[in-house]
């Protein structure tokens, strides 16, 4: 079994917050891939199903963000899931809105949820970093992440969630490149090839001269020549 963790804060008050994009991902996976009903376990909400032939446990910690590690550690211990088989979906300030990156291991970059997980199970787990953009100054970060996504964010957010759902089986099978390709097809779909009308090729003066109608050329004959030509 593999463990997919979505980070967020419990309760309707936080449901549409930027900080809760991890919960949004798991909600989408549960709906799109016929996972079982949500149950309360491990101080969180869990749902079981399969992706790409792999048995997956979805976990949304309900301990609030800064204690997420407690819930993750309990689930991993119960099912004997290695740290390397854990994937955490979380908001990422350092990525532009709608961008997605997969990373194995590394630091927590000040993210309270990741900090808690680091403390509980170490850092050797996989993260799916979901860009929400940065408010521009560190003093604005707390207010920014705990506010709802703007209406203008709706389209890219939906594309991102759809792309993650499309590629979830590849991620479960340990193929992050194929997962990222599926996300990209939703967030950056290939444009249809439209060929602009081809402009007429420029003609060189020499060719133009060859094609010119002789009747259009200026008459340089003298009056005497013109009179003689008339009687030929």
Instruction: Judge if pTM exceeds 0.85.
Output: no
Domain ranges of the chain: 2-187
* Band (32; pLDDT cuts 50, 70, 90): very high
The average confidence (pLDDT) of the chain is: 89
Q: How far apart are CA 13 and CA 206, in angstroms?
A: 78
CATH of domain 2-187: 3.40.50.1470
Q: What angle do CA 37, 98, 20 make, to 5 degrees?
A: 40
Sign for the CA dihedral angle at 18, 162, 2, 93 comes to negative
Task: Give pLDDT tens digits for 83-130.
Answer: 999 999 999 999 999 999 999 999 999 999 999 999 999 999 999 999
DSSP letters, 183-217, are HHHHHSPPPP--PPPPPPPP--HHHHHHHS-GGGS
Q: Would you name the residues annotated as active-site residues?
A: 19
Band the pLDDT of 213: cuts 50, 70, 90. Answer: very low
* pLDDT, position 207: 46
- List, in order, residues 6 or more apart from 119 with CB less than 8 Å away: 69
Please give the average per-residue pLDDT across 55-66, as a whole number: 97
pLDDT for residue 229:
58
Which pLDDT score, from 0 to 100, does residue 192 have?
66
Torsion of CA 144, 145, 151, 152, to 10 degrees: 70
Task: Please name every residue paired with 127 in a beta bridge, in sequence order, or none if there are none.
Answer: 88, 103
- Note the pLDDT of residue 191: 75
């Amino acid at each position: 079994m593999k463990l997919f963790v979505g980070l967020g804060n419990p309760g309707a008050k936080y449901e549409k917050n930027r900080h809760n994009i991890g919960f949004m991902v798991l909600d989408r996976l549960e709906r799109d891939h016929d996972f079982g009903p949500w149950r309360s376990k491990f101080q969180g909400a869990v749902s079981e199903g399969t992706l790409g032939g792999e048995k997956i446990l979805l976990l949304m910690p309900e301990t609030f963000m800064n204690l997420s590690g407690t819930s993750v550690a309990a689930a991993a211990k119960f099912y004997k899931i290695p740290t390397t088989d854990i994937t955490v979906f979380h908001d990422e300030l350092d990525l532009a809105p709608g961008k997605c990156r997969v990373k194995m291991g590394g630091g927590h970059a000040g993210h309270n949820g990741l900090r808690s997980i680091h403390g509980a199970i170490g850092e050797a787990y996989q993260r799916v970093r979901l860009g929400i953009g940065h408010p521009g100054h560190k003093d604005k970060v707390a207010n920014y992440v705990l506010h709802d996504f703007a209406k203008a964010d709706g389209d890219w957010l939906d594309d991102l969630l759809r792309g993650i759902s499309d590629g979830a089986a590849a991620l479960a099978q340990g193929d992050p490149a194929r997962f990222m390709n599926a996300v990209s097809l939703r967030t950056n779909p290939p444009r249809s090839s439209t060929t602009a009308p081809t402009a007429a090729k420029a003609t060189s003066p020499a060719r133009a001269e060859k094609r010119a109608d002789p009747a259009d050329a200026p008459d340089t004959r003298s009056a005497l020549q013109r009179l003689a030509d008339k009687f030929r």
